[in-house]
Amino acid sequence: MKIGVPKEIKPQENRIGLTPESVKTLVSEGHEVIVENNGGFDAGFENEQYINAGAKIANSAADIFNDAEIIVKVKEPQKVEVDMIRENQIVYTYLHLAAAKELTEGLIKSKSINIAYETVTDDNGRLPLLAPMSAVAGRMSVQAGAHCLEKNQKGRGLLLGGAPGVTGGTVVILGGGVVGENAAVIATGMQAKVHIVDKSEARLKQLVEMFGDKIIPQQSDKIDLNKLVSEADLLVGGVLIPGAEAPKLVTRDMIKLMKRGSVIVDVAIDQGGCVETSKPTTHGDPTYIVDDVVHYCVANMPGGVPRTSTLALNNATLPFLVKLANQGYQKALGEDNNFLAGLNVHKGHVTYKAVADVFGHTYVSPEEAIKN
């Protein structure tokens, strides 16, 4: 198969869909890989490395979209890219459609086959292609939040880890999944006071086993969330409902209770955010202030560390891509229900129920869709 890798064009998005090593693997399987000129440059991968791995270099994204059978990206297609997607072309990338009506409509209209990294599952119901970027975003959330707490960033002027004889800040992490766990790794390492809120008692017990008395576990239905939010110097939103819009757990009224100069990092912004006052921002202009609270809502946080992120992402996505290219999408998805869960839009039909429900589209099961 012909596999195309365009340069990412979302603002401040520096990752790329495939590393040279991944290209080498695909070429060894008999596939042709086309990479856009300097597509990997900002992630530290040169054209020469791709050529040495067996790829061809294309001068433009248009050349890739015109020629490739599979498009491999990192972030959701931007409007100019959606307009280039061809009927029956396979698009393999993060999509986050539940928070993107215009994109959903564009993919439906294109009659393409769209597989979302973030809804592929494993046998335990986890999300193996989302996990690596959730881990990066979770770790970055505390790093970014600590920076935003500095006075010159309009924060409280507080060092999250404190100083000898000075107590550190309070971090409240909403969600004990991959984002929350990795946020806790950094926050506890900084010696902050760390609360993790999750609805699952079993998950909280797992986190206590990992972190011991370095965290304070909080079961969501047994706490006063208003009070906890008001105590936070840094609030990290790491709530996820797979493929669906994130629930708004923190309301505008709760924001008003927070301390002047405290910080919110809403990692769930890709799925609409879990804070009522959240709106997407970019690495170039990452923050804004509502009710004296600094909001950091960068929708592609791992794009800020593109080399680490690209390598981590490829570790997870490549085995599925090899299967997709070797077997064709109908066989690859039909024989693997976990991979099939990634199919979101297929030839004009929405095949992920949460997306169909939020936008009022007729839902077609992926099992039925791939028969056609």
Active site residues: 96, 270
Q: How big is the CA angle at 55 (ends 59 and 17), to the nearest 5 degrees? A: 80
Distance, CA of 324 to CA of 342 (rounded, Å)? 12
Distance, CA of 256 to CA of 40 (rounded, Å)? 43
How far is CA 168 from each of CA 26, 150, 190, 196, 332, rounded to the nearest angstrom?
Answer: 49, 13, 8, 16, 50
Closest CA to 21 of 302, 313, 303, 314: 314
Rounded to the nearest angstrom, the gap between the alpha carbon of residue 99 and the centroid of all alpha carbons in its chain is 12
**The residue to which tokens 């969330």 are assigned:** 225
- Strand 70-72 and strand 2-5: pairing? parallel
| Tokens matching residue 264 | 């919110």
| Tokens matching residue 5 | 């890798």
Query: For helices 201-211 and 178-189, what crossing angle results, to 10°?
Result: 30
Assess contact for 163 and 327: CB atoms under 8 A: no
Q: Is 154 left (phi over 0), alpha (psi -120 to 50) or beta?
A: left
Distance, CA of 304 to CA of 298 (rounded, Å)? 10
Assess contact for 174 and 145: CB atoms under 8 A: no
| Tokens matching residue 192 | 């902050």
Which amino acid does the sequence have at 72?
V
